[in-house]
């Protein structure tokens, strides 16, 4: 349960104001078909985070527990710093083909998540916790919690969020998680 809750809370808070959330706004304005978009986000996130999780499990097997905890801790601290830098939507991501709301959302979200904070967090969390699917379920749930309201409520919802405060909270969350893993490593 710890793996699921840490994964869910980390990704849900880190996703606030992230480029994929901005992408959800753009796609929602363009397509105005929320259910196919929600399905696209879900499918893209499961696929992306499953791949990231598999990479994390592989890395986790290569390292002894102390080094693994240190690596996860340091990566979470790096995520804390990265979270303080708000994302901006690239122009390339705002133009999608007219292949339909589902397909456009699926492809755009999968690509936007490559190398994103949430994908890197998924790698680190899957390396740290033994249950890959619990981590993927948690990170995917966190993505859905952050993006589904944006899809349904669009700009009106997103502009009312205190994004700067959310970025600080997400950064502190990553920092605390990182410090816990560094402490668990016993290397200091």
Tens of pLDDT along 102-150? 998 998 899 888 878 888 899 999 998 989 999 999 999 999 999 999 8
Whether 154 shows a pLDDT value over 90: the answer reads no
Of 24-28, 31-35, 53-57, 165-169, the range with the lowest mean pLDDT is 165-169
- pLDDT, residue 91, reads 41
pLDDT tops 50 at residue 90:
no
What's residue 37's pLDDT? 93
pLDDT of residue 65: 80
Average pLDDT over residues 28-42: 87
Predicted confidence band of residue 53 (pLDDT cuts 50, 70, 90): very high
Q: Which of 42-56, 77-91, 135-149, 159-173 has the lowest mean pLDDT?
A: 77-91
Lowest mean pLDDT among 14-23, 29-38, 58-67: 14-23
Write down the pLDDT at residue 97: 39
What is the domain extent for residue 118? 2-185
Sign of torsion over alpha carbons 83, 89, 92, 96: positive
Q: How many domains does the chain have?
A: 1
Average pLDDT over residues 172-178: 81
């Amino acid at each position: 349960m710890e793996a699921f809750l840490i994964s869910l809370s980390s990704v849900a808070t880190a996703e606030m104001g992230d480029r994929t959330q901005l992408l959800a706004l753009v796609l929602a304005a363009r397509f105005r078909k929320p259910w196919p978009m929600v399905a696209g986000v879900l499918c893209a996130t499961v696929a992306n985070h499953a791949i990231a999780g598999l990479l994390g499990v592989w890395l986790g097997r290569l390292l002894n527990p102390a080094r693994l905890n240190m690596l996860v801790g340091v990566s979470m601290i790096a995520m804390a710093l990265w979270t303080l830098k708000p994302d901006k939507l690239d122009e390339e991501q705002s133009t999608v083909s007219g292949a339909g709301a589902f397909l456009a959302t699926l492809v755009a979200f999968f690509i936007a998540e490559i190398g994103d904070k949430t994908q890197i967090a998924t790698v680190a969390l899957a390396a740290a916790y033994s249950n890959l699917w619990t981590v993927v379920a948690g990170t995917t749930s966190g993505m859905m919690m952050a993006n589904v309201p944006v899809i349904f409520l669009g700009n009106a919802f997103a502009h009312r969020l205190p994004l700067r405060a959310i970025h600080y909270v997400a950064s502190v969350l990553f920092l605390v998680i990182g410090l816990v893993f560094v402490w668990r490593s016993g290397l200091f």
